[in-house]
Structure 1
Amino acid sequence: MFGMSPVSRARKKNPQPAAHSVNGLFKDVLRDFSGLAAEPGPFDVELLASEVLGQWWDLAIEGDAEGGEQLGLELIAFAQRKITPGAAALLAALKVVAETEEERTAAADALGVVLGRGIPEPEWAASVGQVTVGECWRTGDVYGDESSLLCVFSRGDATLGLLALLDFTERGRVRDLVVIDAPIEVLTEMRAQAAEDAELVVLDKIEPADAHRLLVDGIAETDGMEEPEVGADYARFHAIALTWCRALPEPSASLEVEEWAPARREAAVDEFVAASGLEEREIARLLVDHGCETEPANPLRVGPEKLARFLEALLGGEYELEDEDALAPVVLAWAAWAGAREGLSEVAVAALVADVTEYLEEYLAEEPDEDEPNDYLDGTESPEEVLAVVERRRFAVPSLNTVIGDEELTDLDPGDPEQRRLLVIGEHPEYHESLADDSFDGEPRLHLALKTTLVDQLWDDSPEEVWPAALRLAERGLSRDEVLGELVAVLEGQLEETGEDRLDYDLDGYREALEQV
C-alpha cells in the first residue's frame, strides 16, 4: 500500500564510471573524492561515500573479490598507499561512514598513515557523521503490513530526510531506503494522506530511539537474506542510513520474543474455530504457523499483504492442503475474525475482506475448476455476511460453467437472473432437445420453472426461510439434488392459479411449510 512515494525528490545519483578491475574501480573512487570542493556541502561527503560503498552490492569486476566488506578493506589499503588529498578525503569519510567496525578502524589507521606523510586532513573531517536528529514520523496502513519511516537530520542550515520502507510481513525488514532533500514536504504529504483516508492510514510521531530500533533491526533482517528483493536505492543509501542511525539515541533493550509452543498455536486455532463456527482446522493452523514464522512478535496480526504472502506460500508449495475447497471460506473468516480481534474499524475490516477476496480470486485462478468467491458477491455484504453469502449462493449455483445441447457456456455471471437460469437448465440435459420445441410444456416445464425460482430464492435469500430449510435437509444426509427436489415439492404444494392464466404461490403458506421441513 505504501511505496516510496517521495522518490521523485530523492538525492540525484552521481554517474559512476564503469570499472573493469579492482584497481580501476579504486582509482575512479579516489578521483571522485579528489573532486570534492575544499568546502563541500554539509552532506556531500557522506552521500558520496555511501554511493561508493553501495557499488559493492552488484559490482561485476575481474578478479576474485570476497564480498563487499573485503572490497572495502582493499580500497582502504589502496588509499593508504597514496600521497594525495583524494586519499585523505576518502579515508576521512570511511572512518565514519564505512559499514563495519573493522572497516572504520582500518580507515582511521590508514588516515593516520596518510596524514603522517604530510597530506593535510580535510577541514570537514570532524563533521562527518555529526548530525542533529530531528523529528521521526511513521505512516502506514492501519493493519500494520507496511509503513514508511521518515527521520529528519540536519547539519548547519541543511536538512535532509531518510525515508525507509518497512515490511512487517517479513519480520519488519527494510525494503528500500531513500535520502530526500525536502523532508518537510514529504511530512506534509503524509499528513494529507492520513487525513484523507483516516480509516485506513495512520500517521504517528515516534521516539528517535524507536526509529533507531526499526531501522537497524530492519536493515539487519534484509542484509541477512540470501537474495533480498530491495528497491533501487537501497544499496546506494545503505551506508549513510547506518551512519545516521548511530546519531539516533540507543533504544532500550528489546524484549526477547518467545516462540509460540504447539499448545499455544492450537489454542489460537480453537479460538478461531469457536468464533467462526467453521470446523476446518488445517488451514487455520497453517495461518497461525505462517504468522509465527513471518511475524513472531505478533503472529495473529492480520493485513491484506500478510494474507497475500500466505497465499503466495501456498502457490509456492511451502504448505500443502488436504482440502482446497475450504481455503476461501476459512481465509475470509480468518480475515474478519482476526481484524475484529485486533480492534480494526468496520471500514478497515470490510476493506481487508475485499482485498483478500481479490487475492483469493488470483489464487483460485490457478485452479480452473474453482469459481471465484467474488463471483458470488455484489459488494454490499458486510464482513460478517461474506462467508454465509458465499456458502448459500455456491449451494444455489455450484458452477459457473455448463453445457446446453452442443454449446459449452463458461464463466457465466450468476448474479444475472437470465444467466443463472441457463445454469439451472444445464443441470437437466434431459430437457435440452425439447426446450427448443414449442410443445415443451406440462410437468417438465413446471419443474424447470420451479427449480429456477427456488435457485433465485436461495441466491436472493428471499424468503429467508428457504436457506435454513435447505441446511436442515443437508444435515440429514441428503445430496444437493435431493435437497432441491424436496424444496421444489414444498414450493409446488403452495401453487395457486391466478386469473392471469399463470401460477403463483401463497407466500405465507410457503414460509410455514418451509419451517416444517
Structure 2
Amino acid sequence: MFAEMLLAARELLAVRSPLDAELMVSDMLGAWWGRRLRRGDVEEVLGEGLVDYAAKAGTPAALTLLIAVAYLGTSRQAAKAEGAALALMESDVARPRWADRVGAVKPQGCYVSRDAYGDEDTVVCTFAYRGTPGPRPADPAPLAGGDDPHALVVVVDYNMGGMARDAWVSSEVDRLLEKAGVEAAGDPMLAFQELEPQQARALLEFAMKVTTESLVRKGPELVSDGYSAFHAFARARIKALPPGRKRPAPLLSEAPYSRDRRAMLAAEFLASDAAEHLSDPSAASRCADHIIDYGCDRDFNRPLRVSPTKCRTFLLDWLPRKVLLDPAEQEAMPHVLSSWVRFAARRTGLPEEGLKATLDAVWEATGRFTEAYRDPTTFGLDRSLVRRLLPDGDLSALPRRAFAFPFLEGLHDGVDLSALHPAEDADRRVLLEIDHAAERDRPDFAEHLAWHEEIATRLWDGDPDQMWEAAQRLLDLGHDRHEVLHVLMEIAERIGDHPDELAAALDDIADIPDEPPR
C-alpha cells in the first residue's frame, strides 16, 4: 500500500499550486481515516508507517509527500515528516517550487449559514496563500489580498451531537458566498451571517472532536462519503484560524438547566393553551419531563428547539432505546409532543412554515411510534421485574443488566429473590452469591466473588460501553454466560484502573481462547 501511495505521489511533482498538493495528500491520508485496526492505532501504524516508508525512499516524490504531511498530518506524523523532509533536503533531493508555500495561508473571513430549526450550521472559512513565501506573521488576524483564494465548507449537524458530518473545498469563493447570501435572502428558514474567526475555530474544533469520538463507537458511515478526503485538510486549516474562544458557539453555550428550571418549564407548558386539550395530566407531565430532558441532555440545553428531524429522532429512535414508558405514557407521548411543538415554536419565534412542517413530521411519525416502541412487557417480562432492572428508566440498559443478574425471581435457600433489588449494593451481593453458589468451595471465593461484583457493576452502569459489546460478540459466537463473564473478569483484572486501556482491550476481543482463564 505504501509503495502504491508513493507511486501516486509522483503526481505531486507536476501540480502547480500548493492547494492542489494539499488536497491530494489529504485525500491520501483519508484512505484510512476513521478505520480501526485490531492491533494498534491506525494513525500510528499506517500514517507514521507511510512517513517512515517515504523517508527511506528518499525520492523527490517522497520529499513532496513528507512536506505535505508535515502540515496535514497528526502531531506525531507531522513531527516525523518534518524531520525526514529536512534530512532529504540537506541531501539535495529536488523539491517543487510550491513546497515553501504549503500551509502558508491567511484567513480571509468566516461565515455561517443557519437554518431556523437549529438543525445544522454550514460554516464557510475562506483563505488565501501569502503572496511570497516566508514565515507566518505573529498576528494571525485576517489580511487583505493573497493568492489562490479558497473556501473550506463544513456542515455541523446538531441532531447528531454537533458533529462535523460533511466537508469540502471550493475555489470559487465569491460565487459560493454570493449564492449563500441570495438563498438566505429569499428563504425565511435560512440565515447567512459573518462569524468571528475565533468563534469559527472553536465551533469547528468541537465538531471535529465529536466526529472522531462518534466514529470510535459507530464507524465512518456517520459522515458523508467525501468527508475522509478533506478531514486532514480541514484539521490543518482550522489551526490557521486565530484561537481565543473557549465556547464553540452561542448555540452550544446555553446555561445548563437545573432540575428546578426544568420543572418550571414543564409547569409553564402544562398551564399553556397548547396543552389544554391533553386529557391525562399525569401522563402529560411525565412525557413533558422526557421531552425537556432530551432537549437539555442531548441537544445542548435547548429543550425549546423543535424541528422535524429532532422530533422524529426523539420519537422513533431515542425513546424506544432509552426510556421505559408505562402504557399511559406510550398513548400520550405523540399528543404531548405535538403540543410541545406549538408551545416551543411560539416561545422561539419559529416561522409558521417551520411549525407546520414539524407538526406534519410528528403526525407522520405517530403511527410508526407504536411499532418502534417495544414495551418489554410485550415480550413476557413482568413490569415489576423490569422496574427493578431499570430504576432509572434507561431502557437501553435492560439487556446488559438482565445478563448480569439473570436470577431475580423465585426462592433460594429461603431467600425471596423477588424482594431483592440489584441496584442496591447489599442486595446485589446476595444475588451474586446465589448466582455463584456452585463455586463456594473455592479457596479464593471471596476474591472471586468481588471480581464478579466488579463486572456486574460495570455492566449495570455501562462502564465502559465496550464491555457489553464484547460480551455480545462472544455470546453470538456460542459461548455460554459463565465463560464470557470469566473472560471479562480476566481482562479487567489484568488492565486495572486504566479506562482507555480497558476499553481498547475489550474492543480487541474477537473470541475466547481454547482455555479461558478461570
How would you bin the TM-score normalised by the shorter chain? 0.5 to 0.7
| Percent identical | 29
The one-letter amino acid of 2:196's match is E
Using the alignment, how far apart are the partners of 1:313 and 1:367 within structure 2? Answer: 9
1:227 aligns with 2:203: no
Equivalent-residue separation in structure 1 for 2:318 and 2:305 (angstroms): 19
**How far is 1:260 from its partner?**
3.5
Give the corresponding residue for 1:393.
Answer: none
1:328 corresponds to which residue?
Answer: 334
Deviations 1:304-327 (A, max 9, x none): 221121012246422222122211
Kept in 1, the 8 Å contact 2:162–2:207? The answer is: yes
Shift of 1:127: 1.0
CA distance in 2, matches of 1:250, 1:261: 31
Query: Which of 174, 189, 204 in structure 1 is aligned with 2:179?
Result: 189
- Gap change, CA 1:141 and 1:57, over 3 Å in 2: same
**Distance 1:65-1:45 versus aligned 2 partners, 3 A rule:** farther
Match of 1:160 in 2: 150
Native 8 Å contact 1:96 1:243 kept in 2: yes
**2:29–2:229 Cα contact (<8 Å) kept:** yes
Q: Which residue of 2 aligns with 1:380?
A: none
Q: Which residue of 2 aligns with 1:108?
A: 82
Tell me which residue corresponds to 1:80.
55
The residue type equivalent to 1:303 in the other structure is: S
Alignment check: 8 A CA contact 2:150 2:169 kept: yes
Q: How does 1:38-187 map to 2 (within 5 A)?
A: 40-57=16-33, 66-98=41-73, 100-155=74-129, 156-187=146-177
Contact in 1 for aligned 2:110/2:125 (Cα 8 Å): yes
Aligned partner of 2:229 in structure 1 is: 236
Q: 1:305 aligns with which of 297, 304, 309?
A: 309
Q: TM-score, normalised by structure 2?
A: 0.61
- Tell me by how many angstroms 1:273 deviates: 1.5
Q: Distance in 1 between matches of 2:173 and 2:368?
A: 38
Q: Which residue of 2 aligns with 1:273?
A: 270
What is the TM-score of this pair, normalised by structure 1?
0.61
Residue in structure 2 matched with residue 283 of structure 1 by the alignment: 287
Q: Residues 351 and 251 from structure 1, CA distance in 2 versus in 1: closer, same or farther, beyond 3 angstroms? A: farther
Larger radius of gyration: 1
Whether the aligned pair in 2 keeps the contact of 1:96 and 1:128 (CA below 8 Å) is yes
Distance 1:292 1:315 in 2: 15
What is the alpha-carbon distance in structure 1 between the residues aligned to residue 174 and residue 362 of structure 2? Answer: 35
Aligned-partner residue type, residue 175 of structure 1: R
Match of 1:319 among 316, 323, 331: 323
* Paired residue type of 2:195: I
Cα distance change, pair 69–297 in 1 and its aligned pair in 2 (3 A):
farther
CA deviations on 1:189-245 (whole Å, 9 max, x unpaired) are 3233223322x2222222222221221111110111122511011111000001111
Q: 2 CA distance for matches of 1:66 and 1:46?
A: 24
Question: Displacement, 1:83?
Answer: 2.0
Paired with 1:152 and 1:294, the residues of 2 have a C-alpha distance of 31
Deviation per residue, 1:94-133 (Å, 9 max, x gap): 11111x2122111111212222333244432221112232
2:224 partner letter: G
On the 8 A contact 2:316/2:368 being kept in 1, the answer is: no
- Hey, what's the Cα distance between the residues in 2 that align with 1:341 and 1:59? 43
1:169/1:306 contact within 8 Å kept: yes
Q: Which residue of 1 aligns with 2:495?
A: none
SS in 2 for 1:281: helix
1:39 Cα deviation from its structure 2 partner: 5.6
What is the match of residue 454 of structure 1? Answer: none
Contact 2:63 2:95 in 1 (8 A): yes
Asked whether the equivalents of residues 117 and 306 of structure 2 are also in contact (C-alpha less than 8 Å), the reply is yes
Unpaired segments ≥5 residues, structure 2: 130-145, 375-518
Q: Going by fraction, where is helix more abundant, 1 or 2?
A: 2
- Tell me if structure 1 keeps the 8 A contact 2:316–2:372: no
Per-residue deviation, residues 288-307 of structure 1 (Å, max 9, x unmatched): 12112222343432222211
Deviations 1:33-66 (A, max 9, x none): 22323562231111011001100136699x9563
Give the direction of change, closer, same or farther, for the CA distance of 1:251–1:343 in structure 2 (3 Å limit). Answer: farther
Q: Distance in 2 between matches of 1:36 and 1:121?
A: 10
Change (3 A) 1:367 1:45: closer
Which residue of 2 is the match for residue 210 of structure 1?
Answer: 199
1:477-516 alignment, distance < 5 Å: none
Q: Distance in 2 between matches of 1:130 and 1:58?
A: 27
Using the TM superposition, give the Cα deviation of residue 336 of structure 1 relative to its aligned residue in structure 2, in angstroms.
0.9
* Structure 2 letter corresponding to 1:320: L
Structure 1 residue 366: Cα displacement: 5.3
Q: Letter of the 1:230 partner, please give it.
A: V
> What does residue 246 of structure 1 align with?
239
1:83–1:117 contact (8 Å) kept in structure 2: no
Classify 1:83/1:346 alpha carbon distance in 2 versus 1 (closer, same or farther; 3 Å). closer
CA distance in 1 between counterparts of 2:16 and 2:261 reads: 58
Closer, same or farther: CA 59–121 of 1 in aligned 2, 3 Å: same
Given that residues 138 and 204 in structure 1 are in contact (C-alpha distance below 8 angstroms), is that contact kept between their aligned partners in structure 2? Answer: yes
The CA deviation at 1:361 is 4.3
Alignment gaps of 5+ in structure 1: 1-24, 369-517
* In 2, Cα distance between equivalents of 1:274 and 1:336: 13
Matches of 2:107 and 2:89 in 1, distance apart? 31
How far does the alpha carbon of each residue in 1:378-399 deviate from its partner, in whole angstroms, 9 at most, with x for none?
xxxxxxxxxxxxxxxxxxxxxx
Q: Cα 1:58–1:102, aligned 2, differ >3 Å: closer, same or farther?
A: closer
Higher mean C-alpha deviation, range 38-47 or range 227-236 = 38-47
Question: Does residue 344 in structure 1 map to residue 318 in structure 2?
Answer: no
Residues 42, 125 of structure 1: CA spacing in aligned structure 2 closer, same or farther, 3 A cutoff? closer
- Name the CA distance, whole Å, in 1 between partners of 2:269 and 2:258: 17
Q: Which runs of 4+ in 1 moved over 4 A?
A: 58-61, 255-259, 364-368
Asked whether the 8 Å contact 2:320–2:372 carries over to 1, the reply is no
SS of the residue corresponding to residue 40 of structure 1 reads coil
CA-based RMSD of the aligned residues comes to: 2.6
State the Cα distance separating 1:337 from its structure 2 match.
Answer: 0.9
- Counterpart of 2:168 in 1: which secondary structure? strand
SS of the residue 1:102 aligns to = helix
Cα deviations across residues 339-361 of structure 1 (Å, max 9, x unaligned)? 11113234433333233323334
